[in-house]
């Protein structure tokens, strides 16, 4: 184990992340606070960051590690100096509703937020000031937001089953809403060149759209159907070129995000339902975990399995993550056990420690082999 659980929050831990250099961990909680931790020692760094009036459901470091951004159910976004833990500028307040989604522009100069109040807001990341009026048009909660690679457009997905594009400079809608999904749109992303939009929905369908015309491209990518309806799971590779989708009751399939074509055969081999899939940080591998207590690795180019399944200690597995160099896997099970594995040999590298009520989130540092997780028992 890498030290003891990080204790200090007085409510459920909602979000957690590493600094870009892997030296610090930031966590947020229903206790309305944000905490910084030393990733080597597990010791808290300074006092809790206070200012939000509702539980803090989103938190992240900026890529240079100098600032932290947090979003709360009280409808506010805050910027913090990561060195002295002081707030930067005025509070970014969205009076419409709680903040659900956050994204940065590629140059990190702007932040876009999506809310339960159906609105989208642009913010100046340096000053914390809103840029223009809220963008209105969705008829339900905004579930996902993203900038185009050049920062000129924003795409949003909503519980109203639509996708919208916006001019990032004027805030005006670009074209008509993109319709076609039969359930809420929970994932949106531009292609690497900005010419296409990828959307994923709880209807277990992935769609590709022409970003200029708003027209659908090719046939919808329908995930394998199970014997009965089940929530869909979608994961997109870091470069946006591959998608893997499926559901708890159906096998997973790898897709080419540019063409919408299936890559290889469905990912099969489990005796139970698949609870989570994720791409490795470099996009070369996929890790999946199952209720049969096994972990499998797959080649993200071909969809072929890599090696033999890794067998857990018995409890159903619910989450897993690969280290940045693909050498280790960390898994979390329903009984709260955290396990570290050698990804090349499949050998366990010792059990870490358990937490109450299951493990809800796992995140690997981008630059180190340290890892962290959140639990419902208020520990990190």
Number of domains in the chain: 1
Residue 342, CA atoms < 13 Å, CB-side half-sphere:
7
User: In 273-303, which positions are buried (b, 16+ CB within 10 angstroms) versus exposed (e)?
Assistant: bbbbbbbbbebbbbbbbbbbbbbbbbebeeb
Tokens of 292: 């049969």
95 belongs to a structural domain: no
Q: Is residue 81 part of a domain?
A: no
Q: SS3 string of the chain?
A: CCCCCCECCCCCEEEEEECCCCCEEEEEECCCEEEEEECCCCCECCCCEECCCCCEEEEEECCCCCEEEEEECCCEEEEEECCCCCECCCCEECCCCCEEEEEECCCCCEEEEEECCCEEEEEECCCCCECCCCEECCCCCEEEEEECCCCCEEEEEECCCCEEEEECCCCCECCCCECCCCCCEEEEEECCCCCEEEEEECCCEEEEEECCCCCECCCCEECCCCCCCCCEEEEECCCCCEEEEEECCEEEEEEECCCCCEEEEEECCCCCCEEEEEECCCCCEEEEEECCCEEEEEECCCCCEEEEEEECCCCCEEEEEECCCCCEEEEEECCCEEEEEECCCCCEEEEEEECCCCEEEEEECCCCCCEEEEECCCEC
Q: How far apart are CA 366 and CA 88, in angstroms?
A: 25
Domain-located, residue 350: yes
pLDDT, position 93: 65
Write out pLDDT tens, residues 279-315.
Answer: 887 888 888 877 777 888 889 888 888 888 877 666 6
Predicted confidence at residue 205, as pLDDT, reads 82
C-alpha pair distances (Å), 95 with each of 117, 121, 142, 321: 9, 11, 15, 36
Structural domain includes residue 187:
no
Whether residue 235 lies inside any domain: the answer is yes
Give Rg (Cα) of the chain.
Answer: 20
pLDDT digits (tens, 9 = 90+) for 135-159: 999 999 998 899 998 999 999 999 9
**Residue 164 within any structural domain of the chain:** no
pLDDT value for 4: 52
- The pTM assigned to this predicted structure is 0.65
Task: Give the N- to C-terminal CA distance of the chain in Å, as an integer.
Answer: 13
Question: What is the span of the domain harbouring residue 286?
Answer: 223-380
Residue 186: inside a domain: no
* Backbone dihedral angles phi then psi of residue 316, each to the nearest 5 degrees: -55, 135
For position 241, which CATH number holds?
2.130.10.10
Is residue 67 situated within a structural domain?
Answer: no
**What local confidence, expressed as pLDDT, does residue 224 receive?**
54
Residues of the chain with pLDDT under 50: 1-3, 226-231, 336, 352-376, 378-380
């Amino acid at each position: 184990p890498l030290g003891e659980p990080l204790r200090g929050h007085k409510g459920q831990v909602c979000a957690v992340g590493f600094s870009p250099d892997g030296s610090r961990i930031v966590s947020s909680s229903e206790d309305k606070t944000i905490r910084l931790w030393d990733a080597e020692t597990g010791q808290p760094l300074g006092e809790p960051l206070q200012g939000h009036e509702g539980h803090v459901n989103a938190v992240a470091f900026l890529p240079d590690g100098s600032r932290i951004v947090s979003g709360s159910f009280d409808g506010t976004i805050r910027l913090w100096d990561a060195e002295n833990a002081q707030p930067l500028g005025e509070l970014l307040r969205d009076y419409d509703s709680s903040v659900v989604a956050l994204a940065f522009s590629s140059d990190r100069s702007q932040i876009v937020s999506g809310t339960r109040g159906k609105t989208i807001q642009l913010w100046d990341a340096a000053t914390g000031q809103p840029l223009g009026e809220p963008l209105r048009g969705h008829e339900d909660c905004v579930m996902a937001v993203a900038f185009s690679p050049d920062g000129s457009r924003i795409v949003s997905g909503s519980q109203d089953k639509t996708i919208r594009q916006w001019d990032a400079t004027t805030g005006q809608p670009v074209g008509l809403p993109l319709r076609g999904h039969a359930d809420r749109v929970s994932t949106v992303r531009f292609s690497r060149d900005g010419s296409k939009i990828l959307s994923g929905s709880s209807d277990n369908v992935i769609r590709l759209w022409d970003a200029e015309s708003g027209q659908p491209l090719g046939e919808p990518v329908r995930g394998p159907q199970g014997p009965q309806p089940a929530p869909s799971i979608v994961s997109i590779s870091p470069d946006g070129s591959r998608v893997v989708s499926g559901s708890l009751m159906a096998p997973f399939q790898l897709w080419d995000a540019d063409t919408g074509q299936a890559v290889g055969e469905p990912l099969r081999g489990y005796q139970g339902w698949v609870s989570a899939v994720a791409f490795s940080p470099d996009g070369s591998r996929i890790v999946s975990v199952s209720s049969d207590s096994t972990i499998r690795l797959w080649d993200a180019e071909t969809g072929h399995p890599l090696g033999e399944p890794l067998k857990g200690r018995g409890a159903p597995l619910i989450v897993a993550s690969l280290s940045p160099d693909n050498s280790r896997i960390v898994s979390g099970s329903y009984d709260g056990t955290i396990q570290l594995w050698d990804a090349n040999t499949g050998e366990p590298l010792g059990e870490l420690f358990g937490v109450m009520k299951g493990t809800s989130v796992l995140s690997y540092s981008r630059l180190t082999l340290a890892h962290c997780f959140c639990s419902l028992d208020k520990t990190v």
